[in-house]
Amino acid sequence: MLKNLVLFSLLFGLVVNGKRPHSTIHVDPSASSSSSNFTTIQSAIDSVPSNNSHWVCISIKHAIYKEKVTIPVDKQYIYLKGDGNKRASIVWGSSGSINSCPTFTSYADNIKVENLNFVNSYNYPPKKSGARRIKQAVAAMVTGDRTAFYHCNFSGVQDTLLDAMGRHYFKHCIIEGAIDFIFGAGQSIFEECRIVVNVGSSMGAGNIGCITAQGRSGANDSNAFVFKNCNVTGNGKAILGRPWRGYATVIFFNSSLSDIILPQGWDSWFYSGYVDQLTFAEVNCYGPGSNTSNRVAWEAQLSQEMAEYFTSSNFIDADKWISKQPH
């Protein structure tokens, strides 16, 4: 009877001193499987009850996990946490459809991820010779709402991070790629992240990379990519973004731009006749790639009010959900 009460408390989060504790299960590839220990990340996720409504921490031991990992839509309130000082890595090498090739896919709302690496190894790490033909090869796809990533790495070449939809927050993350490697229609803030362009090694000399391909499709949509206090670096040459959809919105705010950024800054791609619908902007950026004197003529000039709107935590309603995540 006592054992059952303890289990109930862990799984369903009895409130103690005004705080709601979360249960913890462990992933260790060298451990024997038990009710609280799993050898794969997916099996640990599968053990979380459907329609879960209380936080469950999945503590992941440092190792390389060669598996595709999916958080289904009915497994909310999962906290994936790499255990220890070194990040555990989830690695898979698949290309093709952006919906089927991701190494990691999160469909559920209310997810927190910390201290993990996500790698699509299809053509990563980049090779100067003998590499596979570059294709879409997504390292992570996020479609759920209220999802946050801290101290995570996303590694790939083309379409590394599919920030598909929902309100998301990325902090102290590293995102690496060459072509459209941060794309989708997420309503997201990337804060103090390192954006690494890897064009020279991935594609060869003379090719041009692209960091973002944002997918806002309507004038009244709320989604946008906001890069706040970030560091853009790498090798080769690249533009900051091009529109995946006709109302694409990307803002780089108070960020360091290295000399890999081409003077034009942006490209209109398939929307050359609709550049007045695009909102591509740089505010208070610095570094050798931040000179805007030769940017495309249609780069947006944001008012102070609009800049404050996009860069405030209120843009993703952070105060309503990030403070409620487990720590």
Q: Distance between CA 141 and CA 90 in Å, rounded?
A: 13
pLDDT in tens, 107-164: 999 999 999 999 999 988 877 545 667 889 999 999 999 999 999 999 999 999 999 9
For the chain, give the percent of residues with pLDDT over 90.
Answer: 80
Supply the pLDDT for residue 37.
Answer: 87
Write the CATH number of the domain with boundaries 59-313. 2.160.20.10
pLDDT in tens, 217-259: 999 999 999 999 999 999 999 999 999 999 999 999 999 999 9
Q: What are the C-alpha distances in Å from 108 to residues 78, 146, 166, 212, 321?
A: 9, 9, 10, 24, 14
Supply the pLDDT for residue 40.
Answer: 95
Q: Which of 285, 279, 134 is nearest to 212 (CA)?
A: 279
Per annotation, catalytic residue among 28, 83, 159, 259? 159
Per annotation, catalytic residue among 180, 221, 267, 276? 180
Those residues with Cβ within 8 angstroms of residue 67's Cβ, 6 or more apart along the chain or in another chain: 40, 41, 42, 90, 92
Supply the pLDDT for residue 4.
Answer: 37
Residue 68 has pLDDT above 60, yes or no: yes
Give the start-to-end residue ranges of the domains of the chain. 59-313
Catalytic residue at 159?
yes
Catalytic residue at 267?
no
